[in-house]
Structure 1
């Protein structure tokens, strides 16, 4: 559960609780709840902090939470990391690289993973179908892309 508190301030108005320097902080754990994996975010207003804390907890509950530090990574870096994990046959790796080079990289390669929305992916799929690819092929490309995000 996210914790919300007001940070202490050294200004003279701090004791009167009217100090505007004191930001509200939200501290929360990543979905795995590991010790040492706490994150903090500051807000000027209490209701902003409460809204953010609620949003984070909802995203964790439904499995849509994305670590803000990880969301800044380029799709290409995430892709290469995903390819290096596991034990895949050379022919499978070649197939995945071909799908990435021809269908994923032109659209998502230079973007951060945090900027890619479900709408972007839906439009990408529709674009592949509009280009005349068979539905089964489009689905295979989608499955490969989805696997890199998991």
Structure 2
């Protein structure tokens, strides 16, 4: 399966400024990025939220899971590398696969109570109700108490 890194770059003025990187391909110039969690370099660069998508099983209907994890890293690429490693652990011994999709958001402040940990902005001609139905409330979400 081809890895897809869909990292979006948007600069928006105002209270909801988004600082996210645009790139497609494998992170890091040489294919590797050092894990800098907990180092002075990571503290200097801050926190990143990485949104990843997983698929459970092979039979239709497919179940997809979106997860957002946060990482203290030196760069967008370093955050993706750490999230990819965690995704590999997350899929071990379970009937789910990581789809190789990552969207990264650089947090503008330390994570804490009420802090924004992820933001994605999308252009659409859909009115609000149709937009929510199309992307967030399709009726197929597993919300509330999960069975089992």
TM tier relative to shorter chain? under 0.3
Give the strand-richer structure, 1 or 2: 2
Q: TM-score, normalised by structure 2?
A: 0.25
Greater relative contact order (Cα < 8 A, sep 6+): 2
Greater C-alpha radius of gyration: 1
